[in-house]
Amino acid sequence: MASFRYSLSAYPLRKTTLQYGLRVFTRAASSRPFILGMRTSVRRISGGSWSAMASASIPFRAVLTEPMCTVLQATYFARLSRVILSSSTIMSVSTCVLPGLHCTMQKRAGKGRVKTYRNETVEIATNSCSARRVTPSILRSMHGRGLFHELAKNRTLYLMFVPVCLYFVLFSYLPIGGIVLAFKEFNYRDGILGSPWNHFKNFEFFFKSGKAWSVTTNTFLYNLMFLALYTCFSVLTAILISEMRGTTFKKTAQSFMFLPYFISWVVAASFLYNLANYEYGMINRLLVWLGGKPINIYATPRYWYFILPFAYIWKWIGFGTVLYLAAIVGIDQECFEAATIDGASEFQKIFRITLPMLRPTMVILVLLGLGRILRGEFDMFYQLIGNNGILMEKTDIIDTLVFRSLLGTQDFGMATAAGFYQSVLCFAIIMIVNRVVKAFESDYALF
Amino acid sequence: MPSSRIAPDKLLLTFIAYVVLGCIALITVFPFLVLVINSFASEHAIINYGYSIVPRELSVSAYELVFLNPQKILQAYGVTLFITCFGTAASLFLSSMAAYCLSRKDLRYRNKLAFFIYFTTLFNGGLAPTYIVITTVLHLKNTLAVLILGPMFSVFYILILRNFFTHSIPGSLSEAAKIDGAGDFTIFLRIVLPLTAPALASIGLFTALAYWNDWWTAMLYVERQNLMPLQYVLYKILSSVTMAANIVNNVATLNLPKESLKLAMTVISIGPIVLAYPFVQRFFIKGITLGSVKG
């Protein structure tokens, strides 16, 4: 026993994450110190102290095998400064077995500060080291069984994944390989591989035509506008619906709002045409009836700054409302009751309880939206505007540009280059968003 | 002090709620009203007075025109119905199979596999390479298969299903069945799948809706008229009078009631959805909630 040295160390996994691990060092010549164990995440309940958490519910795994190793590991999401690592904490986690082992505990905080507690007594629990916790797969991974063994053992399960896998290989990964076309001058006779290279000509054409900048800003700004308005309106209607008592009106209104979600943009375009066309449209008829002049909406770009967000909200408001309503329903009613007893007004309850409680949902949805900020709402733009040349400059987005150069001018190289440009930007944006989120609230991270 | 009177702020809030929601609901449903009402107006009325909320001259001539020569519309309906039914069934079965595989904790590569399909949402080749791969490598242009395969799988739905399996179906069920000698596929088919019915219903409806409303795949890959689904036919009718005339087998485009014909066609194409809507709405709401709990 004495030849083992145990060290319990706490070290930050990421900026906001502490991982506690008990490292086992052996003096045996061949074995290197290693950590074994599953990373277990423990979410801090706000207000509760760490030790309370620890005694209540730190799941951990302990494995006793040859060579002997024991690992106690818990990942703790909290700010570093608020964690007090004390021997009593560890004591409360563990219960028995291997008593009286001395170890050194190190708490390594963010900026290289290291705090060391020497000669602490650690007791390590193995009573929770039941067969259920130490699954065969952990043991197997220790022994390092190979890929083929795993595939053969679970062949039915892996076979069940094959159709979907094949689909994504053919319809997603093959096209990713097809990106080489961005550097080629494609023709049908030679195919993807045989077509001659033209290096960066396609990109040159895309950027020098001046289109790149205008479609990128258009895509970005429209999506930003959509996202902001969509979030505001959805939250607003969800809150108002949740405040209503009568069911009939509520249900009807919600059904009406949700209806456009079921309609394709083809039909939505026809709706817009009915309202906005120059000769018979309702808006113009109304203007004429009021004594004004009819306006040619389909030839005036500036109206579309209003129409497009309006159409977007019209289509999606029902969907967003359902999303946020689900979150509102999930709020603990006791909060509202307590607030009522404390004399809060209805508006205070909305601003002090409902909105803060909706924050996680809003953050996630806005982040997802931000990640897609350069993916245009192609269906909408193409159906509502189509190939209308007058509106083009103000309403052309990357997706419509790609589509037109593909089907219209058959400029495959440029279409691929523009698509690649979009994909790379999107990918970069998602990565940045995810990184930022992880730094602040790692719970909300996408992956 | 308890009081039976409603507090003024509560009253104000309720008032605001009624007014705002009433307005939004009216605005969302207004285009539908305009469409349906005007589809019963005569061509003459539309041309002379424009679209209106109160029809001036009632007429069903546009509908008559469609119903007299319904072959092409019926064909489009048939294509849409087929791809919707077949596609949804296949997509649901294969998606849930994959999702079950990803949900099994004893599978060592499940996270890698999940990332393999998740990656396609982070980065993709874009439209042009996809188009070229599908037309020149897979040779799927002008086939029914492309209409089914195009919108078939959504990574998002597969991951939702996986979460459903992990959180709502106890692992001990599978274990018990395994001890009784069931293979993985039998467990999935006989035990897991029946328990997944509510989630499958919701996701199936979302998939079906995507198939029904898909015009885009057809626009890219289908040129033969007998393969065109309803939404694409509608798109063509709305964008060209020639196509509208062609659909109703009417060569004389001049005296065709083109405006009311467009409206009637739109009504006919959204009819099934609007009629089914009240009955399936709750499944969609359930589905959205399902996705938002653990997206």
Span B151-176, mean pLDDT? 85
d(CA A136, CA B108): 11
SS3 for A21-38, per residue?
A: EEEEEECCCCCCCECCCC
Chain B (125-144) residues lying within 8 Å, Cβ to Cβ, of chain A = 125-134, 136-138
In this model, does residue A44 exceed pLDDT 80? no
CA-nearest residue to A155 within chain B is B184
CATH 1.10.3720.10 positions along chain B are: 71-221
Q: Are residues A309 and A386 in the same domain?
A: yes
User: What are the Cα distances from residue B283, in Å, to A344, B202, B205, B218?
Assistant: 36, 5, 8, 28
pLDDT at A112: 47
| Chain B residues 35-54 with a CB less than 8 Å from chain A | 35, 38, 46-47, 49-52
pLDDT of residue B5: 65
- Would you call B95 an interface residue with chain A, using a CB distance cutoff of 8 Å? yes
Two tokens, residue A153: 């053992």
Number of domains within chain A: 3
pTM for the predicted model, two decimal places: 0.76
Q: Are residues A102 and A163 in the same domain?
A: no
List of E strands, A137-183:
none
Are residues A163 and A140 both part of a single domain? no
Question: CA A301, CA A299: separation in Å to the nearest integer?
Answer: 6
pLDDT range class, residue A63, cuts 50, 70, 90: very low
Would you say residue B86 has pLDDT above 90? yes
Structural contact between residues B294 and B163, judged by C-beta atoms closer than 8 angstroms: yes
- Classify domain B71-221 by CATH architecture: Orthogonal Bundle (1.10)
Q: Do A40 and A139 belong to one domain? A: yes
Question: What mean pLDDT do residues B84-88 have?
Answer: 95
Do A256 and A275 reside in the same domain of the chain?
yes
pLDDT at B87 over 80: yes
Alpha helices in chain B (DSSP H): 8-39, 43-49, 61-68, 71-103, 110-122, 127-132, 144-149, 155-168, 171-179, 184-186, 193-195, 197-212, 216-221, 230-239, 241-247, 258-293
What is the rounded average pLDDT of the residues B79-95? 94
Residues A119 and A156 in one domain: no
Under a CB-based contact definition with an 8 Å cutoff, are residues A308 and B271 in contact?
no
Q: Closest Cα of chain B to A5: distance in Å?
A: 32
Contact between chains at B22 and A253 (C-beta distance less than 8 A)? yes
Instruction: Give me the sign of the Cα torsion angle B215, B217, B219, B225.
Output: negative
Whether residue A419 and residue B7 make contact (CB cut-off 8 A), yes or no, is no
Q: Is residue A145's pLDDT more than 60?
A: no
Dmax over CA atoms of chain A, in Å, equals: 99
Provide the CB-side half-sphere exposure for A287 (13 A, CA). Answer: 16
**B287 vs chain A: nearest CA distance in angstroms?**
10
Phi (first) and psi of residue A75, to 5 degrees:
-100, 130
Whether B97 sits inside 8 A of A164 (CB atoms) is: yes
What pLDDT is stored for residue B174 in this prediction? 79
- A186 in the same domain as A122: no
Q: What is the pLDDT of residues B259-277, one digit of tens each?
A: 778 888 888 888 888 888 8
Range of the domain at A415: 201-444
| A437 and A332 together in one domain | yes
Final residue in a domain of this structure, among A179, A194, A209: A194
| Angle (deg, nearest 10), helices A211-243 and B8-39 | 120
Q: Is the pLDDT of residue A374 over 70?
A: yes
| Test the B interface: residue of A264, A322, A399 with most B CBs within 10 Å | A264
Cα distances (angstroms) measured from residue A353 to each of A244, A245, A329:
17, 19, 13
Among A285, A323, A420, beta carbon nearest to B50: A285
Lowest mean pLDDT among A48-62, A262-276, B167-181: A48-62
Taking CA atoms, what residue in B is nearest to A383?
B235
**pLDDT tens per residue across span B13-44:** 888 888 999 999 999 988 898 888 888 887 77
pLDDT per position as a tens digit, B190-241:
888 888 888 898 899 999 999 999 998 998 899 888 889 999 988 888 887 6
Residue of A nearest to B212 (CA): A264
Q: How, if at all, do strands A73-77 and A41-43 pair?
A: parallel
Range B231-270 burial, b when 16+ CB lie within 10 A, else e:
bbbbbbbbbebeebbbbbebeeeeebbbbbbbbbbbbbbb
Return the top range by mean pLDDT from A72-76, A99-103, A133-137, A139-143. Answer: A139-143
- pLDDT higher than 60, residue B71: yes
Buried b (16+ CB within 10 A) or exposed e, A232-266: ebbbbbbbbbbbbeeeebbeebbbbbbbbbbbbbb
Domain edge (last residue) among A144, A160, A180 = A144
pLDDT given for residue A5 in this prediction: 37
CB contacts < 8 Å between A and B, how many?
Answer: 291
Mean pLDDT computed over every residue of chain A:
69
What confidence tier does A428 reach under pLDDT thresholds 50, 70, 90?
very high
